[in-house]
Amino acid sequence: AQSVSQHNHHVILSEAASLELGCNYSYGGTVNLFWYVQYPGQHLQLLLKYFSGDPLVKGIKGFEAEFIKSKFSFNLRKPSVQWSDTAEYFCAVKDTDKLIFGTGTRLQVFP
């Protein structure tokens, strides 16, 4: 079965800093990959997804992620974070008929 690793558990940044959150999944083949975001006190919402095609995918709020098949990775990036990006970020991979989520990365952005 698939598994997902998010190596950064807690990231603290100042506004305008660049962000990269790591995500690795356990085995290859055709994969559907997702990043979800959970703002404080809110439900999870989709940030971006990769199903096929261009490995660089763009999502909402200036986020992007790059699928690198050879590294089994799907890292999330943002060139310049804002205070409003403070949230928890979850990577997920489709495994047969369900999604497997990583343990999440808590991002704190200070003004």
Binding site for other proteins (CB under 8 A): 6, 9, 32, 34, 42-46, 49, 51, 90, 94, 97-99, 101-104
Q: How far apart are CA 81 and CA 94, in angstroms?
A: 28
Q: Residue 105 carries which side chain, given as an amino acid letter?
A: T
Backbone angles phi, psi at 58, to 5 degrees: -110, 140
Min dist CB 58 to other proteins, Å, is 16
Closest CB to other proteins among residues 9, 70:
9
Report in angstroms how near the CB of residue 43 gets to other proteins at its nearest.
4
CA-derived radius of gyration, the chain:
13
Q: How far is the CB of 9 from other proteins (least distance, A)?
A: 7
